[in-house]
Amino acid sequence: MGILTDNMRGALLMATCMVAFTVNDAFMKSVLDNVPLFQALFLRGVFTSVLLLVLGIALRGLRMPRLPRDRWLIALRTLAELFGAFLFMSALSQMPLANVSAILQVLPLSVTLASAVVFAEPLGWRRLTAIGVGFCGVLLIVRPGTEGFNLYSLYAVGAVVAVTVRDLAARGLSRDVSSLSVALFTALGVGTAAGCAALFTPWVAISGRDLGLLGGATAFIIVGYLSSVMAMRVGEIGFIAPFRYASLIAALILGFVVFGEWPLPLTLLGAAIIVATGGFTLYREQKLSRVVRPRMP
């Protein structure tokens, strides 16, 4: 068994992150049928913050960032997460899960290109081509100009911009900033903002079913928060980014099993292209790591 490279570790974290976020989305989509958006986000934020605080105290993983730059980056990341959550959940309440997730699959392209500009990270033509081909697969799913692309699709596009900023902010954090602290600040920021907004919207009584769904969303959003921060702090974004496509596969499965949303043939073709590009990128990393790894004497 070979030792995982930083790129491989980042890829596994990214896949875990995206699947966790997608399962959270499925829980929240079910909750939003009965509970107003800001009330649901506030309650999830409270549950998430409490559990992260307990986990941080138990693991002694909570500490305030010392550098002013890190504090500003955490504030920027939290603000981006807040806007992204609002835009994404608004779209999710009105669109099929797979459609919203498909639009977010442009993230590998946006994050990779942005990181190449901001951090001057290397981006070979093979990886860039693979991401571009994957983006073409996303277009087959979204199909701009058809009835599947509407105003709420633009909300999802706005979420793409917000998540791109969020991930680049996490990328710039110092190594001594704990991922638990970043996740807790994010949960507190989203929950507090949603709570303030919820003061001006009607509230409803929460049923036992919806409370259970919010509990499930909380568990998976914690996994998503932690793995998303860790994924952006190891390896090269150009390699890690395509593994965001794991969320699309999860969304297609959950959309069919939970919501009865059967994907069209073009959607399945686009998903197949996306999976193939991710597999090619993984193959390239394994091949390159074998080339550069020194032989044992």
**For residue 294, what pLDDT is reported?**
45
Could you say which residues of the chain have pLDDT below 70? 1-2, 121-123, 142-149, 278, 281-297
C-alpha to C-alpha distance for 26 and 237, rounded to whole angstroms: 27
Q: What is the pTM of this model?
A: 0.79
Q: What is the pLDDT of residue 31?
A: 95
pLDDT of residue 1: 44
- Contact indicator for 168, 115 with CB cutoff of 8 Å: yes
Nearest Cα to 171, choosing from 231, 233, 109?
233
Span 32-58, pLDDT tens digits: 999 999 999 999 999 999 999 999 898
Distance (Å, whole) CA 214 – CA 48: 10
**pLDDT at residue 271, as a whole number:** 74
